[in-house]
């Protein structure tokens, strides 16, 4: 049994705006070794929310490094043809509780995606103990209105 056995057979054709699908895909992509090392995982998404490219940046353990990583990847996405959104995951070996630092990184991801503009399809904490989604208000998932 492989780690992606629980994914729907047509997962690649579905939008990662579905938090259950995004969580299952993160579970399949972020290995136990990745979780033990920690970092930030970003799923770069096409304009319709389908996966374009997974990215894992190891070593971004603290809040500042996570924020910097998210900013750098999101700003680079603006110049990548076909990329229109992100799924963000803070990856660490321990715990499944959402911390205040996780909430601040999540808010940072919302702010960066709003400025980019990119859709933020979800923010997660991924650990060896499980995967937890941080709440995203439905009105924050669609294209941002930039004033």
3-class DSSP assignment, residue 66: helix
Number of residues that this document lists for the chain: 147
| 101-130 residue pLDDT tens | 999 999 999 999 999 999 999 999 999 999
Q: Where are the domains of the chain?
A: 12-140
Residue 29 has pLDDT above 50, yes or no: yes
| 4-27 residue pLDDT tens | 567 999 999 999 999 999 999 999
Residues 6+ away with beta carbon under 8 Å from 137: none
Q: How far apart are CA 101 and CA 93, in angstroms?
A: 16
Residue 143 has pLDDT above 70, yes or no: no
Q: How far apart are CA 59 and CA 79, in angstroms?
A: 25
Pick the CATH number of 12-140 from 3.40.50.300, 3.40.140.10, 3.20.20.140, 3.40.50.1860: 3.40.140.10
Query: What number of helices (H) and strands (E) belong to the chain?
Result: 4, 5
| 32-66 residue pLDDT tens | 999 999 999 999 999 999 999 999 999 999 999 99
């Amino acid at each position: 049994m492989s780690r992606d056995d629980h994914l729907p057979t047509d997962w690649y054709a579905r939008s990662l705006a579905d938090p259950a699908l995004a969580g299952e895909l993160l579970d399949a992509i972020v290995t136990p070794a990745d979780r033990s090392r920690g970092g930030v995982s970003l799923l770069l998404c096409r304009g319709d929310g389908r996966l374009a490219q997974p990215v894992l940046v190891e070593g971004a353990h603290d809040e500042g490094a996570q924020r910097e990583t998210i900013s750098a990847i999101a700003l680079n996405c603006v110049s990548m043809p076909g990329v229109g959104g992100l799924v963000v995951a803070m990856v660490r070996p321990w715990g499944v509780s959402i911390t205040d630092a996780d909430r601040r990184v999540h808010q940072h991801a919302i702010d960066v995606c709003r400025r980019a503009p990119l859709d933020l399809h979800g923010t997660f904490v991924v650990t060896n103990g499980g995967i937890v989604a941080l709440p995203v208000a439905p009105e924050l998932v669609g294209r941002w209105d930039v004033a």
